[in-house]
Amino acid sequence: MDSINVEMAMNPLEFSQLLNTLDKQGASKDKKALIQTAAAGNTFTCAQVAQILDKLTFPKEQLWALKIFRPRISDRENTFQIIQAFTFTKDQKKAGELLGQPEDVEPAVRRKRLDEESEAVDMPAPMEASAFSQLLEALSNQKFPKEQLYLVELAAYRNTFTAEQAVQLLDKFKIPRYQLKALNIIRHRITDSQSNFLILNAFDSSLYKKKASTLLMQAASPHENQNPS
């Protein structure tokens, strides 16, 4: 389902009242009734949905609530914020599936680029500064590179980035192998490819600079199929 205009999302005062009311509900069935009632007449940002999910104790309840909120999310490009409400990777994956995240992101974003080229349309504007700052913070909060990589996959599927933003994303990965995996995903969603040379600054060793350069050059012709080692 297409995103709803973000201006239509629940205003902060009403949302605060919703959270307070949710806190007062003791039984799980009462919380569910409240969530269903609120979702029926409002829309929510991803950040708001994440806060509501944090009020629920069990992953099964969180996934149930996410399914209710899914068609009422105003900023689907920020779904990475919702995933952070789930503690375990398996639940994060289930949440991603509910939000329409493809299992294999790299081919999906490559297809997007091919479609844009065939239709002679420009990429969407790069990720807004505030949302990008939240993404960087989310990456910093992840303990493991695989969890970081999944957030990048979520963000890349619905956003584009400048070359400078790409460098900042890659700098969040401490292991070059995972930097390369992240680059393999976002390389198809870089809006200013003429500045791709900046991205090489994220890599320390000559070996990985060369591998990164190869991926970026291949991205100029997205018909290829490359899996970084």
Q: Give this prediction's pTM.
A: 0.85
Q: Over the stretch 62-113, which tens digit does the pLDDT of each residue have?
A: 999 999 999 999 999 999 999 999 999 899 999 999 999 998 999 999 999 9
Higher-confidence residue: 134 or 3?
134
In sign, the C-alpha dihedral spanning 125, 71, 85, 95 is negative
Residue with tokens 């590179």: 145
Q: Which amino acid is at 17?
A: Q
Given a cut of 70, whether residue 197 has pLDDT beyond it is yes
The pLDDT of residue 224: 56
Q: Which residues of 1-31 are buried (b: 16+ CB within 10 A; e: fewer)?
A: eeebeeeebbeeeebeebeeebeeeeeeeeb
pLDDT at residue 1 in the model: 39
Q: pLDDT by residue (tens digit) across 3-34?
A: 454 448 899 999 999 999 999 998 999 999 99
SS3 159: coil
Is the confidence at residue 190, as pLDDT, over 80? yes
What confidence tens digit (pLDDT) does each residue in 32-74 have?
Answer: 999 999 999 999 999 999 999 999 999 999 999 999 999 999 9
**Per-residue pLDDT tens over the stretch 135-163:** 999 999 998 999 999 999 999 999 999 99
pLDDT for position 225: 52
DSSP-assigned states of every residue in 33-94? HHHHHHHHT-BB-HHHHHHHHHT-SSHHHHHHHHHHHGGGBS-GGGTHHHHTT--SHHHHHH
Contact between residue 72 and residue 4 where contact means Cβ atoms under 8 Å apart? yes
Q: What is the pLDDT of residue 117?
A: 87
Lowest mean pLDDT among 54-58, 109-113, 181-185, 217-221: 217-221
Which pLDDT score, from 0 to 100, does residue 80 have? Answer: 95
What percentage of residues in the chain have a pLDDT greater than 70?
93
Looking at residue 2, its pLDDT comes to: 43
**Contact in structure between 144 and 173 (CB atoms under 8 Å):** no
Residue 6: its pLDDT value, please?
43
Residue 101: per-residue pLDDT: 94
Domain ranges of the chain: 6-89, 105-219
